[in-house]
Chains A and B, each alone.
Chain A
Amino acid sequence: MIEAHGLRREFGAVVAVDDVSLSVPDGTILALLGPNGAGKTTTVRLLAGLLAPTAGEATVAGCDVRADPAAVRLRVGLVTDTPGLHDQMTPLAYLDFFGRVYGLDSEARARRVDELLHLFDLQGFGRTRMAGFSRGMQQKVALARALLHEPPVVFLDEPTAGLDPMSARTVRDLIVGLKNASRSIVLCTHDLDEAERLADKVAILAHGRLVASDSAAALRASASQETLVHVLLAAPCAVAVTIAERAAGVSDPILSQTAQGPLLAYRTVHPLQTNPQVIAGLVGAGAAIVSVTCTSATLEDVYATAVGSTPSTSTLAGAYR
Chain B
Amino acid sequence: MSYQPPGDMPMTWLIGRRAAIEAMQDRLSLLMGVGFAIIVPVLLVALIVRSVGAGPGADGEPLGGDMLALYLLIVGLLPTISAIGIASGQFAGEKERGILTPLLASPASNGAIFAGKVLGAIIPPLVYAVVADCVYLLSLVVLVGPAELLLLPLPLCLTMIALVPLVACFAASVASLISSRVRTYNAAQQIGGMVLMPLWGVVFALAGKLADWGPVGMLGVLAGLALLDVVVTTVAAGTWRREEVLAHR
Interface residues of A (CB under 8 A from B): 11, 14, 16, 45, 48-52, 70-71, 73-74, 76, 78, 80, 82-86, 88-89, 97-98, 100-104, 108, 142, 145, 149-152
Minimum CB–CB distance from A44 to chain B (whole Å) comes to 10
Question: What residues of chain B lie closer than 8 Å to A108, measured between beta carbons?
Answer: 3
Q: Mark B83-122, 1 if CB is under 8 A from A, else 0.
A: 0000000000000011111111111110000000000000
> Would you call A145 and B102 a contact (CB within 8 A)?
yes
> Would you call A150 and B1 a contact (CB within 8 A)?
yes
Question: What residues of chain B lie closer than 8 Å to A104, measured between beta carbons?
Answer: 3
Question: What residues of chain B lie closer than 8 Å to A49, measured between beta carbons?
Answer: 105
Minimum CB–CB distance from B105 to chain A (whole Å) comes to 4
Question: What residues of chain B lie closer than 8 Å to A70, measured between beta carbons?
Answer: 107, 109
| Contact count band on B | 20 to 34
Minimum CB–CB distance from B240 to chain A (whole Å) comes to 14
> Would you call A84 and B101 a contact (CB within 8 A)?
yes
> Would you call B25 and A103 a contact (CB within 8 A)?
no
Question: What residues of chain B lie closer than 8 Å to A151, measured between beta carbons?
Answer: 1
> Would you call A76 and B5 a contact (CB within 8 A)?
no
Q: List 18 A-B contacts (CB under 8 A).
A: A14-B249, A45-B246, A50-B242, A51-B243, A70-B109, A74-B107, A84-B100, A84-B101, A85-B99, A86-B99, A98-B106, A101-B11, A101-B15, A101-B103, A101-B108, A102-B106, A151-B1, A152-B1
Nearest opposing residue in chain B for A10, CB measure: B247
Question: What residues of chain A lie closer than 8 Å to B107, measured between beta carbons?
Answer: 70-71, 73-74, 101-103
**12 extra interchain contacts, Cβ-Cβ under 8 A, other than A101-B15, A101-B107?**
A45-B246, A48-B105, A51-B246, A51-B247, A70-B109, A71-B107, A84-B99, A84-B100, A84-B102, A100-B14, A103-B5, A145-B102
Minimum CB–CB distance from B155 to chain A (whole Å) comes to 42
Docked complex Cα distance between A52 and B247 (Å): 10
> Would you call B108 and A84 a contact (CB within 8 A)?
no
Docked complex Cα distance between A50 and B103 (Å): 10
Docked complex Cα distance between A206 and B4 (Å): 38
Asked if B26 is an interface residue, CB under 8 A from chain A, the answer is: yes
Asked if B6 is an interface residue, CB under 8 A from chain A, the answer is: yes
Interface residues of B (CB under 8 A from A): 1, 3-6, 11, 14-15, 18, 22, 25-26, 97-109, 242-243, 246-247, 249
Question: What residues of chain A lie closer than 8 Å to B102, measured between beta carbons?
Answer: 78, 80, 84, 98, 142, 145
| Interface core residue of B4, B97, B102 (most chain A CB under 10 Å) | B102
Docked complex Cα distance between A52 and B104 (Å): 13
> Would you call A73 and B22 a contact (CB within 8 A)?
no
> Would you call A97 and B105 a contact (CB within 8 A)?
no
Docked complex Cα distance between A89 and B18 (Å): 10
Nearest opposing residue in chain A for B107, CB measure: A74
Minimum CB–CB distance from B179 to chain A (whole Å) comes to 17
> Would you call B5 and A11 a contact (CB within 8 A)?
no
Docked complex Cα distance between A142 and B246 (Å): 19
Minimum CB–CB distance from A13 to chain B (whole Å) comes to 11
Question: What residues of chain B lie closer than 8 Å to A150, measured between beta carbons?
Answer: 1
Docked complex Cα distance between A142 and B109 (Å): 21
Docked complex Cα distance between A150 and B1 (Å): 6
Docked complex Cα distance between A295 and B93 (Å): 50
- Checking B99, B105, B246, B249 against A76 with a beta-carbon cut-off of 8 angstroms, the contacting residue is B105
Question: What residues of chain A lie closer than 8 Å to B106, measured between beta carbons?
Answer: 73, 98, 101-102
Knowing A86-B99, A149-B3 are in contact, say whether A16-B249 is a contact too (CB < 8 A). Answer: yes
